[in-house]
């Protein structure tokens, strides 16, 4: 009997609250599909397979985080369903059903909901994961080899565990709600209208103003102090205070908004008493008042979703743009000086490699350079700041790029190279040689965010003091062409390198040796094999090879091939995009579902009022217009607040990301806009459609008294 009753109740609730069941099903499907990434790796090429498998742990951790948020929000949404069933649960007890039996019925219903959501969700997720496989392959620049239908037991277990906990918590909350509510309250639940507690124009305006001030102060702190660890001047405590201010301010803002809407609308008698405006304003105010806390949290979650996805897309596009200039050579070999003494032998690295059987010059066109620093220069040596990025900033009256204010890069001397080494690089990339007078220097850089600093300093004729010589800017000024790309890397990496006369370069200490190689046609296979042998050498052997003995310390060597760097960049872009899609999709779905259930609950509460309006002569058209206004505002208000938070945060974050390369916020936001149009807009349309059906059903039902 209990099973039959529970099944009937679930079927009826599923019809009336389709959004709730739909969201649970989609949640299961998305959680399962994204967690199949470890199995998806088996279908990809070998060069990206391990890379994709390695991010499985990140996805699992993110899943647990999203499951916690999903759990809180879905438990909250479930409470709305329980509130609308209080009268029904009270009738069961009036008819003689013990409270314990009612509790078992609720438990059975929750289990049926869980079973239905899990079965349908896993079925949809299994299909979605097959499609996601091809999306993953595209994100990581790979192709699917020998595709066949797959099922991930690991993803199944993770998803099942997360949602089992969510449903278990739902049962506990439902039983707690039933146990603590008196029978008389259950029977009269539907007759209780929500009260608008804030009615005074002065008080509501002050509450609203306090919320706006808190949010405004948080915005100001974030813009001025920035993010700790990313060039901001604030500490972790400062950032915590900013976070608390924006969170509390958002909740207070929504709490004050309820009474302010009514009070302000009443100020305009012509507007307030025209049509159904008074009814619409009261309904909206009642809902905002009742759901102020939840709407505030939804705004904060939407803020997290918008910021995460937009920042992720910006990083992806910046890395993609940077890769075009960051990988000019087939191979770069980079050797660091193990000690100050060993720096003297770096210039002989090509000869030592050739003598050991690694003749790289035979594979194609090469160029070598020594990057040098003044003697004993470090970040503590502040006697000559003209050589540092900070010195150029000061000379050009510029602003340090985000992320550089407190970094060592701003204080260290810029590396220098001789004019001969630089012209060898220019010849390799097909550019004409340049010349320098004995008292001139050139600056090269390929970082978009830093180039304006050097240009401003050169315009101000910034002189540098180096190795006892004062140098002025050359007429070439700041070079940003292909020759500014000194080596292979996943992104633009030349923060600034000085080109100085040969006589000056000889007085500097070599710190780094670079060998760039472009293969002749047909030589890549042999070159890759030779480079693999070099890369596999242990530290002791490499030190012996580079220095002739190990007394100089360990030789640091890196072999940076274009293919490996491109794959690493592609993998990073794929990871960021994958996580951004996951976060954005899940959070937007949950937030939209919460707002939808709140709106449907409010419409259900107002059914009797719509019948009264109809009896008083209000037209069906006016009532539906009022309903559309209420539904739209319920979705738009939290979204606008969340977007405002995001605009402030992105204004700071984008400046940090801009260091990686070109950032176009309009283009980078397209994915977020698409997600909102498809998901958020669909939920709003579905909510209005279901609310409209509720109102029309209420108008078609003959009024009767209980």
Report the distance separating Cα 92 and Cα 104, nearest Å. 12
Helix residue spans in 268-291 (DSSP H): 269-272, 277-290
Last residue of a domain, one of 562, 593, 610: 562
Helix (H) or strand (E) segment spanning residue 255: helix 236-267
Residue 668 lies in a domain: no
The pLDDT, as a whole number, for residue 622 is 87
What does the pLDDT read at residue 196? 43
Q: Are residues 185 and 333 in the same domain?
A: no
What range does the domain containing 386 cover? 329-562
Count other Cβ atoms within 10 Å, centred on residue 313.
25
Domain contains 203: no
pLDDT (0 to 100) of residue 217: 93
Beta-carbon contacts of 104 under 8 Å, excluding residues fewer than 6 positions away, are: 2
Predicted confidence at residue 641, as pLDDT, reads 93
How much is the pLDDT for 181?
Answer: 54
**Predicted local confidence at residue 195, as pLDDT:** 46
SS (H, E, C) 594-653: HHHHHHHHHHHHCHHHHHHHHHCCCCHHHHHHHHHHHHHHHHHHHHHHHHHHHHHHHHHH
Contact 496, 449 (CB under 8 A): no
Closest Cα partner for 448 from 650, 655, 660, 656?
660
In a domain, 119, yes or no: yes
Q: Is residue 273 part of a domain?
A: no
Cα–Cα distance between 212 and 218 in angstroms, integer?
10
Residue where one domain finishes, among candidates 520, 535, 562 = 562
Coil/strand/helix, residue 179: helix
**Beta-carbon count within 10 A of 678 CB:** 12
Please say which residue of 536, 562, 588 terminates a domain.
562
Contacts of 113 (CB under 8 A, 6+ apart): 10, 21, 24, 167
Task: Quote the CA–CA distance of 586 and 71 in Å, as a whole number.
Answer: 12
Residue 128 within a domain: yes
Nearest to 466 by CA among 443, 446, 449, 483: 443
> Cβ–Cβ contacts within 10 Å for residue 280, how many?
20
| Mean pLDDT in order along the chain per 10 residues (706 residues) | 68 66 84 87 73 80 82 70 65 67 74 83 91 82 78 90 82 69 49 48 79 92 77 73 92 82 74 80 79 86 87 78 77 74 66 76 86 69 71 86 64 87 91 92 88 92 89 90 86 87 89 87 81 71 62 64 80 81 84 85 81 84 89 90 90 75 61 75 88 83 48
How many domains does one find in the chain?
Answer: 2
- Please tell me what DSSP assigns to residue 414: P
């Amino acid at each position: 009997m209990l099973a039959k009753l529970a099944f009937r109740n679930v079927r009826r609730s599923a019809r009336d609250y389709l959004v709730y069941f739909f969201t649970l099903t989609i949640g299961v499907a998305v959680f399962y599909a994204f967690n199949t990434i470890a199995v998806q790796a088996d279908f990809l090429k070998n060069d990206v397979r391990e890379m994709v498998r390695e991010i499985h742990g990140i996805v699992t951790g993110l899943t647990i985080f999203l499951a916690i948020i999903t759990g809180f929000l879905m438990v909250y949404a479930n409470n709305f369903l329980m509130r609308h069933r209080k009268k029904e649960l009270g009738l069961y007890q009036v008819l003689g059903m013990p409270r314990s039996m009612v509790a078992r019925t609720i438990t059975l219903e929750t289990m049926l909901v869980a079973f239905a959501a899990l079965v349908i969700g896993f079925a949809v997720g299994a299909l979605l994961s097959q499609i996601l496989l091809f999306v993953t392959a595209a994100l990581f620049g790979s192709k699917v080899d020998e595709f066949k239908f797959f099922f991930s037991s690991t993803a199944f277990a993770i998803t099942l565990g997360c949602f089992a906990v969510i449903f278990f918590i739902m049962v506990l909350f439902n039983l707690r709600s039933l146990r603590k509510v008196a029978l008389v309250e259950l029977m009269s639940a539907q007759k209780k209208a929500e009260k608008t507690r804030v009615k005074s124009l002065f008080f509501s305006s002050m509450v609203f103003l306090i919320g706006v001030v808190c949010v405004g102060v948080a915005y100001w702190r974030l813009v001025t102090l920035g993010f700790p660890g990313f060039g901001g001047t604030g500490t972790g405590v400062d950032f915590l205070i900013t976070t608390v201010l924006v969170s509390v301010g958002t909740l207070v803002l929504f709490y004050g908004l309820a009474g302010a809407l009514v009070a302000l609308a009443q100020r305009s008698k012509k507007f307030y008493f025209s049509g159904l405006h008074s009814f619409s304003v009261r309904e909206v105010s009642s809902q905002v008042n009742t759901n102020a806390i939840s709407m505030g949290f939804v705004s904060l979650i939407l803020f997290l979703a918008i910021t995460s996805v937009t920042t992720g897309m910006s990083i992806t596009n910046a890395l993609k743009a940077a890769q075009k200039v960051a990988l000019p050579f087939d191979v770069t070999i980079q050797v660091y000086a193990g000690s100050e003494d060993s720096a003297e032998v770096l210039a002989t690295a090509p000869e030592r490699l050739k003598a050991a059987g690694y003749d790289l010059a035979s594979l194609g066109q090469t160029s070598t350079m020594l990057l040098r620093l003044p003697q004993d220069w470090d970040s503590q040596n502040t006697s000559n700041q003209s050589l540092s990025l900070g010195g150029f900033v000061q000379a050009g009256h510029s602003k340090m790029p985000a992320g550089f204010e407190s970094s060592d890069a701003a204080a260290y001397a810029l590396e220098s190279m001789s004019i001969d080494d630089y012209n060898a690089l220019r010849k390799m990339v097909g550019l004409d040689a340049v010349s320098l007078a004995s008292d001139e220097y050139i600056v090269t850089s390929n970082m978009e965010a830093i180039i304006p600093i050097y240009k401003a300093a050169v315009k101000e004729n910034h002189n540098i003091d180096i190795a006892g010589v004062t140098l002025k800017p050359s007429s070439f000024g700041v070079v940003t062409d292909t020759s500014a790309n000194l080596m292979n890397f996943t992104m633009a990496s030349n923060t600034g390198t000085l080109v100085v006369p040969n006589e000056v370069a000889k007085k500097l200490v070599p710190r780094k040796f670079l060998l760039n190689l472009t293969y002749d046609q047909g030589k890549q296979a042999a070159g890759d094999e030779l480079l693999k042998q070099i890369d596999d050498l242990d530290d002791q052997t490499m030190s012996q090879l580079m220095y002739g003995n190990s007394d100089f310390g360990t030789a640091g060597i890196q072999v940076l091939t274009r293919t490996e760097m491109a794959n690493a960049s592609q993998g990073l872009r794929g990871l960021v995009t994958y996580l951004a899609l996951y976060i954005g999709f899940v959070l937007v779905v949950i937030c939209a579902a919460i707002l939808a259930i709140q709106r449907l609950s409010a419409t259900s509460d107002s059914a009797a009022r719509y019948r009264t309006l109809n009896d008083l002569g209000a037209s069906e058209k006016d009532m539906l217009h009022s309903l559309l206004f209420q539904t739209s505002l319920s979705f738009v208000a939290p979204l606008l607040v969340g977007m405002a938070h995001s605009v402030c945060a992105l204004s700071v974050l984008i400046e940090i990301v801009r260091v990686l390369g070109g950032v176009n916020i309009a283009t980078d936001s397209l994915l977020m806009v698409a997600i909102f149009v498809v998901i958020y807009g669909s939920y709003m349309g579905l909510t209005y459609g279901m609310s409209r059906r509720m109102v029309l059903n209420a108008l078609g039902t003959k009024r009767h008294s209980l």
